[in-house]
A = this chain, B = another copy of it.
Amino acid sequence: TEDRRRAEYDHRRCRVVINVSGLKLETQPETLARFPNTLLGDPVRRQQYYDAERREYFFDRHRPSAEAILAFYQTGGKLHRPSEVPLDVFTDELRFFQLGDDVIEKYREKEGFSVASSQLSLNRDGCFGKLWLFLELPGSSVWAKLYAVLCVCFILLSISSLCLETLPGFSERAQNPEVEFTTEFFWIETVCVAWFTLEVVLRFVACPSKKDYFRSVLNVFDILAIVPYFITVSVVLASKGETSGLYRKASLTLRLMRLVRVLRIFKLSRYSEGLKMMGSTLAGSGSDIGMLLVFMVILVILFASAIYFVEQLQPEDSESHFSSIPDAFWWAIVTMVTLGYGDTYPQTGAGKFVGSLCALAGILTISLPVPVIVTQFDRLYNQRMEKDWEERTKKNVQGTEEVD
C-alpha cells in the first residue's frame, strides 16, 4: 500500500484550479473524472473556460454554490444545497455545470418536488389526446374550464341532496321503499350519477394507459361515486315483486351504500390544489400517522384498563361509569385528544389521578409526531409557492441564461 500511496501522491501534484468568481477550488483531475459527462468532468468541454495565463478554469458564476458543486465530485454524487442559496439559483448552477438531467431530477425530488408532472408530456395529439387534455387540464381551454365548473356543481348538488335527504321531514318519506323512486332526491341523484357515469366513461376512454387508470386514487373515487346507485337500484327493483324480505336483508348493504356515496366529496380534490396537497401530505406521512395510531392504541388500552380496575373500588352507592375495559376505550380516547364530552368520567380519587395522567400522556403523544407531518405539509406548501414563482419568472431566467 505504500507504493499505492506514493503513486497517489504523484498524482496529487497535478492539480486543477477552478476559480468561481474568485473562490479558488483545487482538486485532482481524477476526482473530476468520476463524472465524465459533466462540464467539469469532461476535459474538452471545460477547456473553453481555461485561462492559460493564470493556469485555472474561470467561471463567472454564483460563488456560494461552488463548494457544493465540488463536493458533488468529491463525495461521489451527493448534492447538498447550502441553506443560503435559493432553490432556483442552485438549479441554474446545476444546469450550467451540466450535472445531467437525472441528477437534477433526483435532486429536485429530494427537495420535495414531485415528478408527477412528467405525465403531462404524453402524446397529446389525436382525438383522445385532446379529450384527455380537455378533461385533465381545466386551464387548457374555455370549454374545459366550463366543464370543470359543471363537474364541481354536480358534486356539490349531489352532496347537498345527500345531506338534506336525511332531514326529518324528508327522511320519513324516503324510508318507505315504495315511494323512494318518486322523491325529488331520487331524480337529483339519478341526474348526478348519469353525469358522473359519463365522466367516468370519458376519462377511461381518454386515459392513455388503461393500467394507470385504476392506479390513480382519484379515478377510484370516481367509480365509488357511481357504484352505490346501481347497487341500490338493483336491490330495490329486485325486491319490488316479492314481499319486502330481500329489502330487509339488504338493509345493511343499502345503508353502507349511502355511506359510500359521501366519499364522492373527494372528487373535489381533482379541482383544488389545497386538497391535493392535503392528500399528498397524508400519503407522504403514512408511516408517521401509523406510528401515532399505534401509540394511541397502546396508551388507550393501558389507560382504559387502569381506569376500569381503579374505578371499581368505588363506594357502594355510586356506580362506575366504566362497565368493561372495551367500554373504557372510548373514555380513554376522548380524554387523550382532550375532547372530554363528559358522558363518562372518573369519580374516584385514584380514577381522577389516572385521568390526569391519561390527558397529559395524550397531549404529549399527539404533539410528538405532529411536527413531522406539519414539516411534510410545509415542504409541499413551499414547493407550490416556488412553482408559482418559477412559472412567473421563467422568462426572466431564460433571458439570463442567454447572457451567460
Residues of B within 8 A of A171 (CB): 324
Contact check, A359 vs B333: say whether CB atoms are below 8 A apart.
Answer: yes
Interface residues on A, range: 35 or more
Residues of B within 8 A of A301 (CB): 159, 163, 262, 265
Residues of B within 8 A of A368 (CB): 278, 281, 373-374, 377
Contact check, B364 vs A28: say whether CB atoms are below 8 A apart.
Answer: no
Contact check, B25 vs A25: say whether CB atoms are below 8 A apart.
Answer: no
Q: Please measure, in the bound complex, the distance between the C-alpha atom of A171 and the C-alpha atom of B309, giving whole angstroms.
A: 12
> Of A36-44, A126-134, A268-276, which binds chain B?
A268-276
Residue of B15, B84, B294, B323 near A80 (CB, 8 A) is B84
A231 within 8 A of B: no
Contact check, B306 vs A259: say whether CB atoms are below 8 A apart.
Answer: yes
Contact check, B343 vs A345: say whether CB atoms are below 8 A apart.
Answer: yes
A400 within 8 A of B: yes
A312 within 8 A of B: yes
Q: Please measure, in the bound complex, the distance between the C-alpha atom of A17 and the C-alpha atom of B24, giving whole angstroms.
A: 13
A325 within 8 A of B: yes
Contact check, A367 vs B359: say whether CB atoms are below 8 A apart.
Answer: no
A83 within 8 A of B: yes
> Of A62-70, A116-124, A217-225, which binds chain B?
A62-70
Q: Please measure, in the bound complex, the distance between the C-alpha atom of A343 and the C-alpha atom of B202, giving whole angstroms.
A: 47
A286 within 8 A of B: no
Identify the closest chain B residue to A11 (Cβ). Answer: B60
A229 within 8 A of B: no
- Minimum CB–CB distance from A345 to chain B (whole Å) comes to 4
Contact check, A326 vs B163: say whether CB atoms are below 8 A apart.
Answer: yes
Residues of B within 8 A of A403 (CB): 30, 34, 76
Residues of B within 8 A of A26 (CB): 19, 21-22, 58, 60
Q: Please measure, in the bound complex, the distance between the C-alpha atom of A25 and the C-alpha atom of B23, giving whole angstroms.
A: 7
Contact (A371, B374) CB under 8 Å given A83-B84, A258-B309, A305-B163: yes
**Binary per-residue interface labels of chain A (29-58) against chain B in the complex, 1 for a CB within 8 Å, 0 otherwise:** 011001000000000000011010100001
Residues of B within 8 A of A337 (CB): 338, 356, 359-360, 363
Residue of B31, B298, B338, B366 near A60 (CB, 8 A) is B31
- Minimum CB–CB distance from A230 to chain B (whole Å) comes to 19
Q: Please measure, in the bound complex, the distance between the C-alpha atom of A171 and the C-alpha atom of B322, giving whole angstroms.
A: 13
Q: Please measure, in the bound complex, the distance between the C-alpha atom of A331 and the C-alpha atom of B296, giving whole angstroms.
A: 22
Contact check, B9 vs A48: say whether CB atoms are below 8 A apart.
Answer: yes
Residues of B within 8 A of A86 (CB): 78, 80
Contact check, A21 vs B83: say whether CB atoms are below 8 A apart.
Answer: no
Residues of B within 8 A of A272 (CB): 294
Residue of B22, B53, B333 near A356 (CB, 8 A) is B333
A-B residue pairs in contact (CB < 8 Å), sample of 10: A63-B71, A76-B399, A163-B304, A163-B305, A265-B302, A281-B368, A334-B340, A338-B340, A363-B370, A372-B381
